[in-house]
Amino acid sequence: ETGVTQSPTHLIKTRGQQVTLRCSSQSGHNTVSWYQQALGQGPQFIFQYYREEENGRGNFPPRFSGLQFPNYSSELNVNALELDDSALYLCASSLKGGGQETQYFGPGTRLLVL
């Protein structure tokens, strides 16, 4: 069974640029959630994708957007990068059903915005 994978592992961007992060869900999972973890903080929920549509969103501006593909993999796009976007971005996959689905996390992508 393949776990959640994310790419790239590290990324350095300049303020104002755009970035795309990628996530492959665990085998058998159909839902992907994205989180932002600033240094020394707990992860914060960005949004969730199910059946290729956004299925819930946290308190993040529209410049954070995403996609889910038919194979359940997902992308997180961030436009007009700001210094405060520097963080570890975590992807989690789960199998939707009954509300108690457990989220399994990937290793994350560490983004540094200069």
Partner 1 sequence: AQSVTQLGSHVSVSEGALVLLRCNYSSSVPPYLFWYVQYPNQGLQLLLKYTSAATLVKGINGFEAEFKKSETSFHLTKPSAHMSDAAEYFCAVKPGGGADGLTFGKGTHLIIQP
Binding residues for partner 1, rule: CB under 8 A, are 4, 33, 35, 40-48, 50, 55-56, 58, 90, 92, 99-100, 102-108
Residues in the chain: 114
- How far, in Å, CA of 87 to CA of 64, rounded? 14
Closest to partner 1 by CB, 78 or 94: 94
Spatial contact of 94 and 75, defined as CB atoms under 8 Å apart: no
How far apart are CB 68 and partner 1 at their closest, in Å? 14
Spatial contact of 113 and 82, defined as CB atoms under 8 Å apart: yes
Give the DSSP letter of residue 29: -
The tokens 């819930």 sit on which residue?
56
How far apart are CB 16 and partner 1 at their closest, in Å? 28
Closest to partner 1 by CB, 14 or 100: 100
Closest to partner 1 by CB, 46 or 113: 46
How far apart are CB 105 and partner 1 at their closest, in Å? 4
